[in-house]
Amino acid sequence: MRRDVSVGRTVAWILLFVLLIVTLFPFYWMLRTAFSDNTQLPGHPDSLLPVESTLGAFKRVLGLASIEEAQAQGGSGAAVNFWLYLRNSLVVATITTVCQVFFSAMAAYAFARLRWPGRDKVFALFLAALMVPPIFTTLPNFVLIKNLGLLNSFAGIILPGAFMTPFAIFFLRQFFLSINRELEEAAMIDGAGHRRIFFGLIIPMSAAPIATLAILTYINSWNDYFWPLLVGQQENVRVLTVALGVFRSQTPQGGPDWAGLMAATLIAALPMIILFLAFAKRITNSIGFSGIK
């Protein structure tokens, strides 16, 4: 039997389609600019298709074009050590993710499964920390890292986010609370201590939310810009997001190398796009299960 489509449903689908276009259009514009010839872009600002399609921007970013070729294509001709910046981003994002997920899982276990005086009050303080804007803690963290002599080092970039965050603890605690306490009591009867229960029971049963948290942490760490810019000025520790800003400042005589900048942005975002597409369903399910909106 054919169902009548209501006016409200039609309007909702139209609004959804419009929002989808608005959301995806910047990504399409990035692709269009990255595959365009930078010298021809100013003459076709309203073209929806790549202008004089070319892979020259990607060659400039990856260091495959000579200085003469780069300048002829509208680039600055300055060397961009893309692979070094990529390695630095991988190091920072990987170590930050591993440390933060591990320490947050231990803290979440203490808040969810252990009974100790003042537990709920301390957890309330952690929740209150969610309300503090990150910019408020940036200056104290910078002074501390400077006094420790860790400026322009991987340790200086990684340490502030390596231990735990209120969001990560809250996220995992919500799942740990849902685990049947009888399983934990049965393990204790068999002689298991808290360490064995944590590593042998809680962690294996929480693989899905831990994987979700790891993905979200990795994406946030990969995209972080302000903190690496403050403490990682030298090239040997510069990450991709900061390097893109430097690439933008290398303005050739004819104007910014927009094609090169968009190509670099696309290459930098590609690992995160693949990661999200591969685990999108798991991320959505785990966030919904944990009750976080």
Q: Give the model's pLDDT for residue 80.
A: 67
Residue 104, pLDDT above cutoff 50: yes
Residue 130, pLDDT above cutoff 50: yes
Return d(Cα 62, Cα 149) in angstroms, integer: 33
Answering whether pTM is above 0.85, one says no
* Alpha helices, DSSP H, located in the chain: 7-34, 56-61, 67-72, 82-113, 119-129, 134-147, 154-162, 166-178, 181-189, 194-197, 203-205, 207-223, 226-231, 240-249, 258-290
- The count of other CB atoms within 10 Å of the CB of residue 22 is 9
Q: pLDDT tens digit string along 211-250?
A: 888 888 988 898 888 899 889 888 888 888 888 777 666 6
Which whole number is the average pLDDT over 181-196?
A: 86
Q: Give the model's pLDDT for residue 58.
A: 84
The DSSP symbol for 257 reads: -
Place 88 in a pLDDT band, splitting at 50, 70 and 90.
Answer: very high
Residue 293, pLDDT above cutoff 50: no
Mean pLDDT, the chain, whole residue set: 83
Q: Give the model's pLDDT for residue 77.
A: 62
Which whole number is the average pLDDT over 176-188?
A: 86
The DSSP symbol for 50 reads: -
